[in-house]
Structure formats: C-alpha cells, structure tokens
Amino acid sequence: MFTIPIVVLVLLFLLCVTQLVSASAAADLPARGKKTRVTGGRLHWVEEGSGPPVVMIHGLAGSLDNFTYAMTGAFEGQVRAIAVDRPGCGWSERDGVKFAELNRQARMIAEFIEAEGLDRPVVVGHSLGGTVALLLALNHPAQVGGLVLLCPATARLDKTPPAFRGIDIAKQDLVPAIGYGMSGLAAKGIERSVLEQVFAPEPVAPDFMMRGGAILARRASSYIAAAQDLAASRDGFRLLGGRAGEIEVPISVVYGAEDKVLDPTLHGRDFAERVGCDYTELEGRGHLIPVTAAADCADAVRRVLARVHQ
C-alpha cells in the first residue's frame, strides 16, 4: 500500500494553513485606494485633504495604514496627504525580488510622483521608509521639495532589531518556501509580541490590527516582502553612505526618545548633526510615532512645508 510520508503531510498542512490565514487577512482588509503603474510594479495609494502634496512612505513590514491610522487626519485637510504602500508591501506589487533594492524602490516612488503630477512634494519616511526617502532625495532631487524623517533608519545596523529577527533569513533563496510554508502560523503566534516591541514603551494602539494594517502581515506575500526588504536594506545603507549631506532640500528628523527598535542617538541626533538639519526628540515616545504622536509628526511636516514655500 502506498503511504504518504509524514513530512509531506506536515508540509501540506502548513501550506494550507498559510493559504487560509493569508486569504482571511486579505479579505479583512482589502485594497481601497488607487494603483499607479511604474517600472517594476504597481503602487497602491490613498489620499486625504487638499493643498500642498505630502507623500508618506512606511517602514519595514508596514503599510500605508500606519499613516492613515492617525497622521493623515492630523493635517485636518490642509494638505494633500498621500500615503503609499511601498513596492511589494500592503497592496502594492513589485515585479520580482530585484525591486526590493531600496534604490529601485526610491526610483519607483519618483516615477509615481511624476506620473501623478505632484509638484516637488514634501516626502515623509518612517523607519526604513526614511532610508527610501533619503535615497529618493539623493537620486531624484527634482521630485522632492523637503523631507520629514520619522524614526528613520540612517545607518547600517550591527544587528537586527529583536522585533524583526523572525524575518532575518540568511539564505534568501529559502524565503519564499518559508513564507508560503510557515508564515501563517508564525505570524499569528508572534504578532502580539512584535507589536509590543515596536510600540514600546507605549501601549499597542487600539484596533491597530485592522485600522493600522497589521493584519496584512499575516499574508505569506507580506512575510516574503519584509524578509527581502530587510536583506536589501543592508545594501541600501551602503548606497546611502555619507551622502545625506548632499541633499539640498529642508530636512526635519523626529524621533521617539524611548525608541526600542532603532537607536535615537545613532540614527537621529548624530545624523541630524552630521547633515545640519532640524532634530526633535519626543519624550516617552517609542518607534511608531506616526500612530502615537501623529500631531507632533504633522507639525514637523508643517514646519518643513513653511520652509519649502517661504
């Protein structure tokens, strides 16, 4: 009698669970914005308000919902707040792993800015989105009027932050297999711990799973994109190098003083002193300040807008 090896049954079970979890997450929070085709994929985005354009780029394993949770509303309709899912994240698409490279992501967002006819917007980047925003300003200066960097990653990481060790895969060829094989169970098992770490020392925001888009991290595609982004970030920091001082537009950096993901001194204060830009540290705040300190972040954008349009 033919018997199926137990390991095959286990793999089939894990695959089925991951597919069910992914499908459920996608159904719970479907795409709700527009999509713009650029070289290397399609970018999903939403907008709120009218006025000078502000383009917002989220961080590692995030989505545009990290901004729509509170920050887009904090502008009170006075700017055209545009939140974008980075390539491969949220409901954006990318045409292969090479478009995980941060300089390519920056180029895709530059193409988006041009395609949508945005006139030198202020670009907001949170965490890894801050790295992308810096590369955007360096490599595509005509598309950027100013930068607001919220808890940005501005230097190479000596070690992966604990919150993201689950996506730190040494052998990148294994990422799709891990993503489709185990990410469903793993995501549901560790998501609370990860959220507590990225919000710390502040409490996890109410309804962040849905309203903040965290539920999308349960999808296999989200796990794969995040693991590839983390690997690509190392080369992104090399490309950034010491070039940030070449940026000529106004820059403002805002950090949570108690950030447990990135070091505010290394990535914030030291960076700001090196490039000669404004720096604000928010006492008692952690890493997810677009959610927990939306008004402060919006004020930083207003200050840069005032300098851009003076």
Tell me, yes or no, whether 88 lies in a domain: yes
Tell me, yes or no, whether 3 lies in a domain: no
Tell me, yes or no, whether 96 lies in a domain: yes
- Using pLDDT thresholds of 50, 70 and 90, give the confidence band for residue 8: low
pLDDT greater than 70 at residue 49: yes
Number of H helices, E strands in the chain: 11, 9
Computed over every residue of the chain, the mean pLDDT equals 93
- Using pLDDT thresholds of 50, 70 and 90, give the confidence band for residue 10: low
Q: Which residues contact 28 (CB under 8 A, 6 or more apart)?
A: 210, 215
The pLDDT, as a whole number, for residue 1 is: 44
C-alpha triplet 57, 144, 68: angle, nearest 5°: 25
State percent of the chain over pLDDT 70.
93
- Using pLDDT thresholds of 50, 70 and 90, give the confidence band for residue 237: confident
- Using pLDDT thresholds of 50, 70 and 90, give the confidence band for residue 180: confident
Integer CA distances (angstroms), 93 to 90, 96, 97, 151, in order: 8, 9, 11, 25
pLDDT greater than 50 at residue 292: yes
If you ran DSSP here, which 8-state letter would residue 155 be given?
Answer: S
Tell me, yes or no, whether 260 lies in a domain: yes
Tell me, yes or no, whether 129 lies in a domain: yes
Tell me the average pLDDT across 83-92: 99
**223 and 178 in contact (C-beta within 8 Å)?**
yes
CA-wise closest residue to 146 among 37, 55, 84? 55
pLDDT tens-place string over residues 196-232: 999 999 999 989 999 999 999 999 999 999 999 999 9
What gap in Å lies between CA 193 and CA 20, rounded to an integer?
22
CATH (domain of 273): 3.40.50.1820
Tell me, yes or no, whether 6 lies in a domain: no
Tell me the average pLDDT across 46-71: 98
Tell me, yes or no, whether 5 lies in a domain: no
The pLDDT, as a whole number, for residue 171 is: 86
pLDDT greater than 80 at residue 168: yes
Number of domains in the chain: 1
If you ran DSSP here, which 8-state letter would residue 265 be given?
Answer: I
Least confident of 76-85, 153-162, 244-253, 279-288: 153-162
Tell me, yes or no, whether 7 lies in a domain: no
More confident: 68 or 238: 68
Tell me the average pLDDT across 123-139: 98
Domain that residue 228 falls in: 14-308
The pLDDT, as a whole number, for residue 186 is: 63
